Chain A
Amino acid sequence: MALDPIALALVQNRLDHISRQMGWVMTRTARSPIFNQSHDFSCFLTDAGGTLISQADGIPIHTGGGGFAVRALLAAWGSDIHPEDAFLLNDPYVAGGNHLPDWVIARPVFVDGTLAAFACNRAHQSDIGGGAAGTYNAEATEIYHEGIRLPPLKLIERGRLREDLWQLLKLNSRTPEALDGDVRAMMGSTRIGAERLKALLEDYGLANGLELVEGVLAHADRSFRAALAGLPQGIWRAEEKTDNDCFDLRDVWIRVALDLRADGLTVDFTGTDPQIRGFKNSSIANTWSAVYMALASFFEPSLPRNEGTFRCVRIVAPEGTIVNARPPAPMTMCTVFIAHEIVHAIWKALGLADPSRACAGWGKSIHNGSAGRVGTDRPFVAYHWHCMPGGGAVDGRDGFNQIGHLIALGGLTIPNVEGYEQAYPLRILRHELRCDGGGPGKFRGGTGVEYEVDVLEPAEYSFRGEGVGYATGFGAQGGLEGQVGHMRLVLSDGTSIEPPKYRVCRYELPLREYASSPGGGGWGSPLDRDPMAVLRDVRDGTVSRHAASNIYGVVISADGRSLDDAATQRQRALLRQPGS
């Protein structure tokens, strides 16, 4: 019998509302600023088999991969799952985790004594032990260097918190207070989620409720198939690299083939390079999320956030490659880099299939951290977020001139200069858009910024210059790539230093750091850019007169305030000639 379409719409609405409600509770009750400022968590619901049924809330790179965690705990605990239990896990190899810092709390939902669903929260912890404070150990070569590994654990057994386990967890963190507060907030948000989900299923009766949930997944499947139906069938291939393995400069490639047929889409990573020494290797859960994010962001924002969307998608991720590493490869950085590269590779391939929706590349970050002490008792760790890169253009809009990591799609807040100067021994001297940083195009890439800062105390510097040395924001549809990033340090004694790409260095003097962050890629030919937009860029100082004339073919009159239309037409005709 066909499902009641009204009940179906109500159930979908309630499922998404429940996962959002869990997020509001988390934002309100968690302790670390990472949750209420950067929203580095996600809340999701699965059915009894671990299929994701809603993830309306959360950071984009978490979306779509939650089911792995629940399926791992089901495999581990089987029938030994009871009302009022709650599970904790993080390990990307055995527990369906994405990377170690993201811990998952999963609560089973029982209706009429039957396991019916799970309510889950995945959240980035402030510290989980390992070789470096704050979860990112850039020198890790094994997952053991990255923190405590948790298989699916029963943290709460029939309503009782396992105190021995709790002490073990806190003992393994440098910030046990924050961990205590944050994991309790996760427990609170999953409790609300589980209660609401139980009420929903009881309202409709378990059998009917589950049928409606299945209907919600089927709707997502139809919606995504409808989106794919707009694309021509065929095989679309693309590749994207990173130029280092976190230790040495060497190109590491993601290769993807999108095989689009009437019955679905295969995302095949065969040919991707082997896993690397450093911590950018991806877990299978993270690779799924990166694929989901790339697909969902390419199509319309209204696509349902559940696993039904993926029913017609098959992912081939060969084991031992950087998109599906074997243990004990380290992988903490993978949610940012290599996820960025995975999204780029898929965007490039999708752009071949549907040029009108093609997305140009976003610049990769170059910012470093500075850690030291003010006086004898005030330690500080400051990340130089102010030199975040520019984003890529799409048809209809220029790239965002400065924006956080691609994997958050604008969900990470760049701090205020004034707030930073209050908190850290820094004096920031410049935080302004770059000139000619953005990849030229009909729609221009984001410019990136010029950043200058005095670090007023001796400090340890951890460098991760992903966007230094080669252009990272690729152009699309005839748009050009964005400018590469640069960084230079000048010690207070006048010594100038070109910092290493990936390393931890200590400088015993105060210094000035100069950074030019990478620009995003442009979309479409710069010769098709509206001359008025080029004039505005020149007046704004984000495009030089030279680039306006030589790349955009736009000639500005002598007063700098208007176009020379005739000269522009001549210049554009000249530049359009083959070989020019």
Chain B
Amino acid sequence: MAYEVKVKLRAPWRVGVDVGGTFTDLVAQDADGRMVVAKVPSVPTDPSQGVLDAVTAAAGQAGLSVQSFLQGCDGFVHGSTIATNTLLEGKGARVGLLTTEGFRDSVEIRRGLRENQWDHRTPFPPVLVPRYLRLPVRGRIAADGTEVAPVELDDVASAVDVFRAEGVEAVAICLINSFANPAHERAVAQAVRAANDAWPLSVSSDVMPIVGEYERGSTTVVNAYVAPRVIPYLRALDATLRDLGLPGGLLLVQSNGGIASVAQLEGRPVNLALSGPAGGVGALKLFGRATGSTDLLSMEIGGTSCDVMLMSDGEVATTDSLMVAGYHLSTPATDIHTVGAGGGTIAGVDRGGMLFVGPGGAGARPGPACYGFGNPEPTVTDALLVLGRLRPGPYAGGAVSLNLNLARAALKSAIGDKLGLSEEQSAVGIIRLLERNLLNAVERISIERGIDPRRFTLLAAGGAGPMHGASVGRALGCRRVYVPRAAGAFCALGMLHTDVRQDWVRVFAGEMETTSAETLAQSFDEMEAGARRMLHAEGFPPARQRLMRALDLRYPGQQSSLRVEIERTFDAAAVRSRFEAQHQRLFGHIQPGGRIVIVGLRVAGIGQVEARDPQTPAPRAGTPASLGTRRTYIDEASGWMDTQVYKGVDLGPGHRVAGPAIIEEMTTTVFVGAGDTLTVDAAGNFDIALAP
């Protein structure tokens, strides 16, 4: 959509583009920190078209041709849903899998684990490689890495014949115990490549060398499955942008929250599983600086879901495994807790007569009832419209128009008539239940991480987040809610503040106290050499390279490990005390003096992108102009009030607004509760001090 604001940019600028289900967001920030924000409809059939449309819109706002806009760009960061959508839609490549004889089925057995045990009628999502394309190779490596039986390459030859006959497009290799010794996998890979070097190969000891044939195999298979769809798509988009003038080429956000070039991703497209939402990592770091707080909880709410992320002591919480479309991936990833709660979430009454909100949603089309595209069921957006929180008429920059009568009718028939409530009461019920679900989601990630959310600042983002931030923050016991002015382009904005990052992992077996510093140093040095090569290739001089070493540690017998960062000189006593502090916080106990074993070594290679904070707008004096008042439902205690409504552009740094109030911004609407005080901070964002 076009915003009327024209911004003159000074080169070079950095661009972030996030492709969502409904909108593609673009944020550009120039050498002086000036920003352009563009939002265009996504094109599900060809997401790259949405990217190009966003570029065109942004160039227009900057008064530049597309070519000049791209030529002035010194970093083009993209969050792409291409890998995730390939999985969700089941449109990946035909994959052949080679496994150790006797172990073809771990990706089909899935460790027998069901995500929702009470729902046993829903089948597992289809296995990505049919059993007749999962073929055995004789030969065996033992648990300690020694060879029990040599690898039989004749088996590879016959498997290759089958793969050819069956039209296989990509090959995955996952042999038992390859994490301990990859020699057999490498020999098999070489044999496959010799037979047909057009097949993209995914070799488990390269993709993710961890213990566990299911998790390693599943990750490797997903990698093979998405590669032939993802890589050509990214190459083509990269080439198009370069042809149009982009000097540096495309950078992609990975699940770990770091960025990588298309060339870096060729072997590991699986790392794009969380490409879009992981852009939030950069946003957390940016707003950590803006708020002066190292402890942030973010709640990014869009049309269908709410993503919750946590930054504690300046570190964004990560995880080593995630499920995408029902498939297990073991890759370093940002820990994002997602619940079905957004503007399009559907409400109703179950057959026992209880009000429910979600988790299902109306999507972008038909969307909420008030859009008038034929959905009869009431959604959160319909409730907000009836409560006066949203304004009838043009919405989301004019992409749709909100019809109050349709919203009222949906609320009446689906809820009001069944429960004996007015439309207004039904709407209140929806919002209160939705905000309860949001609160539950934030509490979950806090409790699982052993932190107290009351000392955190709640960052409310996404198009729909700032509407609920004050209420959820209050219920959590937070004192402060922070709303970025470009809340609706949160992840795209975050992408401007994201470093290049790649992670290296090695399985290791040793007691922490008896492992020699030299042994560790040797492995770490080898891993770091790989990291340096990558960073050098990506154009980072040594001064901008940062290498982080960490150990995966556990007490013997434990099923999961804790990651502890270590210095370049290994100090076992210091590492023990860090491990114990973390164990105490997360698990509530330690084993004083207990043995600690090292099970893995990790290196993160980080290429630091120069930090450029957004421009500080000029302070504004006096009282901001109001658009007038609107009758709005505030909360249980205050009921309905005449509420001041402001236009975002009328508020600048230094302005204060006493709640209740509504701020209509370009990409979001902010709700300030009764007794709350909103201050526009120096960066131009909204800082809300909550009434207790």
Complexed CA–CA distance, A431 and B103 (Å): 6
Contact with A along B334-367 (1 / 0, CB 8 A): 0000000000000000111111100000000000
Are the CB atoms of A5 and B103 closer together than 8 Å?
A: no
Residue of B nearest to A396 (CB): B121
Given the known interface contacts A397-B123, A408-B117, A414-B112, the answer about A25 and B436 at a Cβ–Cβ threshold of 8 Å is: no
**Is A479 on the interface with B (CB-CB < 8 A)?**
no
Cα distance A542–B433 in the bound complex, in angstroms:
47
CB pair A397 B121 closer than 8 Å: yes
Looking at B112, B212, B588, the one whose CB has the most chain A CB atoms below 10 A away is B112
Decide yes or no: A6 and B108 within 8 Å by CB, A28-B448, A408-B117, A432-B103 being known contacts. no
Q: Does A433 contact B (CB under 8 A)?
A: yes
A320: interface (CB < 8 Å):
no
B578 contacts partner chain A, Cβ-Cβ < 8 Å = no
In the assembled complex, A411 has its CB within 8 A of some CB on chain B: yes
A409 in complex: contacting residue of B118, B142, B354, CB < 8 Å: B118
Contacts of A14 in B (CB 8 A): 436
Q: Are B354 and A9 in contact (CB under 8 A)?
A: yes
Contact (Cβ within 8 A) A418 B589: no
How many angstroms from the CA of A542 to the CA of B134 in the assembled complex?
A: 13
Q: Report if A503 contacts B (CB, 8 A).
A: no
Q: How far is the CB of A554 from chain B (nearest CB, A)?
A: 16
CB–CB A411/B213 < 8 A: no
Query: How does the 8 Å CB contact mask read for A230-242 relative to B, with 1 for contact and 0 for none?
Result: 0000000000000
- Which stretch, A74-82, A296-304, A491-499, touches the partner chain B? A296-304
A1-60, CB < 8 A from B = 2, 5-6, 8-10, 12-14, 17, 20-21, 24-25, 27-29, 31, 33, 36-37, 60
Number of interface residues of B (CB under 8 A): 67
Contact A6 B429 (CB under 8 A): yes
Q: B116 — nearest CB in chain A belongs to which residue? A: A301
- State the Cβ distance, B64 to closest chain A Cβ, in Å: 50
- A205 is an interface residue with CB less than 8 A from chain B: no
| A402→B117 CA distance, assembly (Å) | 15
Q: Which of B124, B352, B450 is packed against the most chain A CB atoms within 10 Å?
A: B352
Interface segment, B489-497, B554-562, B639-647? B554-562
Known: A28-B587, A427-B142, A432-B102. A5 touches B421 (CB 8 A): yes
A394 interfacial contact with B, CB 8 Å: yes
Is the C-beta of A569 less than 8 angstroms from some C-beta in chain B?
no
**Cβ contact within 8 Å between A302 and B350:** yes
User: A488 in the interface, Cβ–Cβ < 8 Å?
Assistant: no
Contact residues in A for B103 (Cβ distance below 8 Å)? 417, 430-432
Asked if B112 and A403 make an inter-chain contact with CB atoms under 8 angstroms apart, the answer reads: yes
For residues 107 through 166 of chain B, which have their beta carbon under 8 Å from a beta carbon of chain A? Answer: 108-109, 111-114, 116-124, 130-132, 142-143, 148
B132-A226 in contact (CB<8A): no
Docked-complex contact A8 and B589, CB < 8 angstroms: no
Interface string of B429-473 (1 = CB under 8 A from A): 100110011001001100110100000000000000000000000
Q: A13-B436, A13-B440, A222-B353 are in contact. Are A541 and B131 (CB under 8 A)?
A: yes
Flag if A37 contacts B433 (CB, 8 Å): no
- CB B41 to nearest CB in A, in angstroms, measures 34
For residue B402, CB closer than 8 A to chain A, the reply is no
- State whether A409 and B120 are in contact (beta carbons under 8 Å apart), knowing that A6-B433, A28-B450, A540-B130 are contacts in the complex: yes
> Closest residue of chain A to B558, judged by CB?
A33
Q: A6-B428, A185-B588, A297-B118 are in contact. Are A418 and B559 (CB under 8 A)?
A: no
Task: Decide if A414 touches B444 in the complex (CB within 8 Å).
Answer: no
Q: Is B211 at the interface (CB under 8 A from chain A)?
A: yes
Residue of A nearest to B212 (CB): A416
Question: Which one, A219, A394, A401, A421, contacts B109 given CB within 8 A?
Answer: A401
The answer to the question of A285 belonging to the interface, with a C-beta cut-off of 8 Å to chain B, is no
> CB within 8 Å of B: which of A414-454?
414-419, 421-422, 427-433, 449, 452
Q: Are B113 and A413 in contact (CB under 8 A)?
A: yes
Name the interface residues of A372-423: CB closer than 8 Å to any CB of B. 388, 391, 394, 396-398, 400-404, 408-419, 421-422
Interface string of A148-184 (1 = CB under 8 A from B): 0000000000000000000000000000010001001
Q: State the CA gap A445–B383 with chains docked (Å).
A: 46
Is A511 interfacial (CB-CB < 8 Å)? no
Cβ of A576 under 8 Å from chain B: no
Check B102–A452 contact: CB distance below 8 A: yes
A residues near B132, Cβ cutoff 8 Å: 539-541
Dominant SS among interface residues on chain B:
loop
Does the CB pair B355–A9 fall under 8 Å?
yes
**Is B112 a contact partner of A410 (Cβ separation < 8 A)?**
yes
Nearest CB of B to A115, in Å: 27
Bitwise, B303-346 to A at CB < 8 A (1) or not (0) is 00000000000000000000000000000000000000000000
A residues less than 8 Å from B419 (CB atoms): 5
Asked if B433 contacts A10 (CB within 8 A), the reply is yes
Please, how many angstroms separate the alpha-carbon atoms of A432 and B213 in the complex?
Answer: 13
- Chain B residues contacting A304 (CB-CB under 8 Å) are 352
Q: How long is the Cα–Cα vector from A14 to B429 in the complex, in angstroms?
A: 14
On chain B, the residues within 8 Å of A415 by CB distance are 111
Contact flags (1/0) for B582-624 with A, using CB distance below 8 Å? 0000111101000000000000000000000000000000000
Q: How far is the CB of B29 from chain A (nearest CB, A)?
A: 39
B179 on the interface (CB 8 Å rule)?
yes
Q: Give every chain B residue within 8 A of A297 (Cβ-Cβ).
A: 118, 120
Partner of B589, one of A29, A222, A301: A29
A9 touches B212 (CB 8 A): no
Chain B contacts of A24 at CB under 8 A? Answer: 444, 447-448
Whether A70 is near chain B, meaning CB under 8 Å from some CB there, is no
Q: Is A400's CB under 8 angstroms from B588's CB?
A: no
Chain B positions 197 through 238: 1 when the CB is less than 8 Å from some CB of chain A, otherwise 0:
000000000000001111100000000000000000000000
Contacts of A359 in B (CB 8 A): 120
Chain B residues, Cβ within 8 Å of A452: 102
A557 to B119, CA, bound (A): 38
CB nearest neighbor in A for B418:
A5
Residues of A with C-beta under 8 A to B444: 20-21, 24
Docked-complex contact B114 and A409, CB < 8 angstroms:
yes
Q: By the criterion CB–CB under 8 Å, are A418 and B105 in contact?
A: no
Query: Does A188 interact with chain B (Cβ within 8 Å)?
Result: yes
> Smallest CB-CB separation from A58: which chain B residue?
B117
> What's the least CB distance linking A520 to chain B, in Å?
11
A141 at interface, CB cutoff 8 A: no
Instruction: Please give the distance in Å from B25's CB to the nearest CB on chain A.
Output: 32
A9, A25, A27, A181: which has the most chain B beta carbons within 10 Å? A9
A422 touches B124 (CB 8 A): no
Q: Kindly list chain A residues whose C-beta atoms are within 8 Å of the C-beta of B111.
A: 413-416
| A2 vs B419: C-alpha distance when bound (angstroms) | 10
Partner of A404, one of B112, B213, B588: B112
- Does A21 lie within 8 Å of B428, measured CB to CB? no
Enumerate chain B residues within 8 angstroms of A400, measured Cβ to Cβ.
Answer: 112, 114, 124
Which of A17, A296, A418 interacts with B440 by CB under 8 Å? A17
Q: Contact at B123–A396, with CB atoms within 8 Å?
A: yes
- Provide the bound-state CA to CA distance between A414 and B106, in Å: 10
B420 at the interface (CB under 8 A from A): yes
A536 to B109, CA, bound (A): 17
For residue B104, CB closer than 8 A to chain A, the reply is yes
Smallest CB-CB A-B distances: 5 pairs:
A410-B114, A223-B352, A540-B131, A421-B143, A29-B588
Query: Measuring CB to CB, which residues of chain A are less than 8 angstroms from any residue of chain B?
Result: 2, 5-6, 8-10, 12-14, 17, 20-21, 24-25, 27-29, 31, 33, 36-37, 60, 177, 181, 184-185, 188, 219-220, 222-223, 226, 296-297, 301-302, 304, 359, 388, 391, 394, 396-398, 400-404, 408-419, 421-422, 427-433, 449, 452, 536, 539-542
14 more contacts with CB within 8 A, not counting A10-B432, A410-B114, are A8-B355, A21-B447, A33-B557, A37-B559, A222-B352, A223-B352, A402-B105, A409-B120, A414-B113, A415-B111, A418-B179, A418-B211, A427-B142, A431-B105
17 contacts across the A-B interface (CB closer than 8 A): A17-B440, A24-B448, A28-B447, A31-B587, A36-B560, A37-B559, A220-B352, A222-B351, A223-B351, A400-B124, A401-B108, A401-B109, A402-B105, A404-B112, A414-B113, A416-B111, A428-B102
